[in-house]
Amino acid sequence: MVSTTGNESNSDPPEQDLRTQLRELVAGLRREVEALREEITALRRKEAPEGADSLLTREEAAERLRISTRTLHDLADAGEIQPVRVRGRVLYHPDTLEAYIRQQARREDGRRG
């Protein structure tokens, strides 16, 4: 008769070692991916044009906020986001969008606290 209890106890530590190694590898990869995301974001900021060239169309602004153009229009009508009008065109400065996002985050924090 062959005892399986001895084999099972010997196989657990190597399996645990592999699991630990895989977890560490995945955690390391996640850190690397996050670092790359941050670098890409920083590069995009550096490449972003300044002044009037940085103004966004309604579609671009709505896409950045991940809302519909109708919702963006409603926010502008309510005075929550201030558009810039240039020769009949309605444009949005990225800083205005970021300020709106920060304002919403503060409101949300106030509700939680």
pLDDT tens per residue, range 76-110: 999 999 999 989 999 999 999 999 999 998 888 77
For the ranges 4-8, 47-51, 97-101, the maximum mean pLDDT occurs at 97-101
> How is residue 1 written in tokens?
């008769």
Tell me which residue of 98, 86, 78 sits closest to 57, measured CA to CA: 86
Rounded CA separation 62/111 (Å): 25
Query: What DSSP string runs through 9-78?
Result: HHHHHHHHHHHHHHHHHHHHHHHHHHHHHHHHHHHHHHHSPPGGGG-B-HHHHHHHHTS-HHHHHHHHHT
Rounded CA separation 27/37 (Å): 15
pTM metric for this prediction: 0.52
